[in-house]
Amino acid sequence: MVRTSDIRAAADLVALPLKHMEDVKFYPLDVDLSKADVVVGPADPVSIVGFPYGLAQQGGLPVWKTGTVASDLDINIGGKPIFLVDTTSRPGMSGSPVYAVRSGAFRSSDGSLHTAIGGSIKKFLGVYSEQIQAAELGGGWKAEAVMALYDSLP
């Protein structure tokens, strides 16, 4: 269980109300993707979707950087709901969603094998928050922590 009081005290997560969005093209994060039944563990590939050094694709779309899970997702880091990613991240990546994207065959929590035919399945793992320079690791707040903070907002 994630306690929002612990997250508020330790997290660098923020939620901002957005106003005057009538003329803005909006690409919201589908938080239900955190419930996708895809097994993800150490050494599995992940994508961090952000703007390294402010770089963007045409139309202002983010860049998809890759990395691998560097910690067990069921175990917290330093007593906080954080997971580690082996990646060389750059400024501009903080606040980026982290996804496990699978095309073709993937395993679900019951151990059965499934196939994403004609597309892919995405699992939202959390929000990237920091680079640990010397270790070439990055840290991210787990999806459950992000959702607990969001659900606690007035």
Mean pLDDT for all residues in the chain:
84
Q: What are phi and psi of 58, to 5 degrees?
A: -55, 140
Domains of the chain: 34-141 (2.40.10)
Sign for the pseudo-dihedral over CA of 13, 17, 21, 26: positive
pTM above 0.75, yes or no: yes
Extract the residue ranges of the chain whose pLDDT is less than 70.
Answer: 1-15
- Residue range 89-104, pLDDT digits in tens: 778 888 899 999 988 8
List Cβ neighbours of 135 (8 Å cut-off, separation of 6 or more). Answer: none
Element (H, E) at 111: none
